[in-house]
Every structure is written in C-alpha cells, then in structure tokens.
Structure 1
Amino acid sequence: MATDWLWARRAWEKWVTKHVGASGKQVQAALLLNYDPSGPSRLLPVIAEQEGTRLTAVDMQPFLDFVKRGNLQTEFFSIRPNQYLVTSIHENWFCARCVNSTKSGGEGVIVMQIGAYLLVCMYDGSLASASQAMVAADQFAVQFNRRTH
C-alpha cells in the first residue's frame, strides 16, 4: 500500500505541475480523493491530494455521498457553493456543468475513477475547456495506470 501511495503521489505531482493552475492550464483546480466503496473509508483521509483549491473532508462528503448513491442522471451535487448537473456519463468518468456559476463562460468538472481514487478536475469555460480538461484527466489516468496495472 505504501509503495502504491508513493507512486500515486509522484504521478500526482508530475501531472499537477504540467496541467493544473490558474492561468493558461487546462485545469484550474484538482483533487485526488480516496474512494473505495468496498473498503473501510474511515482508515484513509478523504482528500489524498489537492491543488488550486482548499477544500476539506466536510466540503467533499456531500459529493462522495452523491457518487455512492449512483443517481448521477437524476440529482444535482455540490462542491462548496457550486451546484452541478451531470451532462455526460461514461464507463469510468462523468462531466458536470455548474448551474449557478457567476463566470461568464461557465465552469464545470470532470470526475474520473482511477483505481481506488476519484480524480476531480475543475475547469472554467465551455466545450473547448471541457475537452482540454478531459485530455488532462486522461493523461493522469494513463500515467497512474502505468504503475498499478
């Protein structure tokens, strides 16, 4: 487990440097959440890593409850003040748009399950920004999966 975590942390740090940041990066903020529905969640911190935001386990618990319920198509979810509606669902990831954004171009999230983690990528903008954030999320998954599979 410690070896896997060291690998995950190294992959995270390399990915964050290239893809996450306020200006000119595909992803404005990202979180790596411990998520193993079959495992004892009390043994691990909810937030394994985060960049570009300062959220707490309390902030993320409603989101994790939303994911566990599995009603992606019929419910909204919140991450702090932002409320999101899922717009696209795929095998191991989904996209959502913020319905109460104050930003002119809007904002959204890409959520991808990678092993026992959920990668949450937050982006500003519309379709082009969502596509760029998806590419960035996919690059983290490829990098992460090189070691774990």
Structure 2
Amino acid sequence: MDWALVHKVWEKWAPNSVGSHGLPLKAALLINHDPTGPSRLLSTIVEQEGIKVDAMEVSQFLSFVRRNKLETESFFIGHNQYLVTSIHESWFCARCINTSKPAGEGAIVMQTAAFIFVGLYDGSIGPASRAMVAVDQFVLQLSRRHL
C-alpha cells in the first residue's frame, strides 16, 4: 500500500469537501480494511477530518460491517447512532436517530478493496446528494490509483 499516495489524495480532496458550513461533508473517516486478509492485520484509521474517533469506536463499527446485518442493527460513529436506510452493492446510507438537528444528519459508507470510507453530513435529500458526490469523488480518485 502506498500510504504517501493515499495521504496526498486525502490532502488534495479534504479541504474542498470536508469541514465548515457550505462544504458537502461535515466529517470524513478513512479506515484501511481488508476483509479477506489475515485476522492479525488490524484495521486502522488512515485519515479523519472533522471528527475524532478512537480505535475502540472503529473496532465496534467494523464489527457492525462484518456482521452484515445492516437491515436489523444500528451503529455508532462518535456519539451518534445511525440506522441504515438504503443498501447498495459497495455502499450504504444511514440516518442519525439521536440527532437534535431539525434537518437531521446522515452517513454514507463506501467500501473498496482496501478501505472503508465514511462521510457524515447535516441535512436531508439535497445535502445527501452533495455528500454522495463528494464521497464518490474521493473513492474514484483512490481507485484510479488502484488503492
């Protein structure tokens, strides 16, 4: 894995997609994860922006993904609990069920051969569409480099 290249792609993408008001994502998290690899290879947080999660939170989230019971279980990222609302071949969307924000909050989780990418956003349909474009752009940049 070329970690320098992953970091370079992240550094180029994140300032235009994650952070302050007006950007498509309020937070993003990139986790290296190979579900077919040996169990001794632990998943780690490669990059994060707009959120600070620790190894225990990532471990619990990855357990949720591995169990593959997306329709019947919820997951946590930070203090927020999410319920999956739509499932697709390599990604799924979820809505926060304990938010205090009137427009709500959502998450887009996309899995590649080597990573799990989580994009968090505030709002509903319009913001979800913008968030999906931002997530897709980052994953596409990684896949172009065969990562």
**Normalised by the shorter chain, which TM-score bucket?**
over 0.9
Q: State the alpha-carbon separation in 2 of the partners of residues 79 and 90 from structure 1.
A: 20
Q: Which residue of structure 2 aligns with residue 135 of structure 1? A: 133
Q: Can you list the C-alpha shifts for 1:65-112, whole angstroms capped at 9, x where unaligned?
A: 000000111111111221111001111110000011011110010000
Shift, 1:136, TM fit? 0.3
Q: Is the 8 A contact 1:35 1:41 kept in 2?
A: no
* Partner amino acid, structure 1, of 2:60: P
Cross-structure match for 1:114: 112
Q: SS at the partner of 1:65?
A: helix
Query: Please, which runs of 5 or more residues in structure 2 have no aligned partner?
Result: none
**Alignment partners' CA distance in 1, 2:134 and 2:103:** 19
**Contact 2:33–2:43 (CA under 8 A) maintained in structure 1:** no
Aligned equivalents of 2:40 and 2:27: distance in 1?
A: 25
Specify the alignment match of 1:99 in structure 2. Answer: 97
- Larger deviation, residues 5-14 vs 87-96: 5-14
Aligned to 2:71: 73
Question: Could you tell me how far apart the structure 2 residues matched to 1:41 and 1:35 are?
Answer: 11
Unaligned runs of 5+ in 1: none
Structure (1 or 2) with the greater helix fraction = 1
Paired position in structure 1 for 2:4: 6
Shift, 1:45, TM fit: 5.1
Residue identity over aligned pairs, in percent, reads 56
Match of 1:36 in 2: 34
Partners of 1:50 and 1:40 in 2: CA distance: 25
CA contact (8 A) 1:87 1:95 kept: yes
- Cα distance in 1 for partners of 2:38, 2:9 equals 24
Give the RMSD, CA atoms, in angstroms.
1.4
The TM-score normalised by the length of structure 2 is 0.93
Give me the TM-score of the superposition, normalised by structure 1.
0.92
Q: CA deviation at 1:43?
A: 4.0
Alignment map for 1:54-73 (pairs within 5 Å):
54-73=52-71
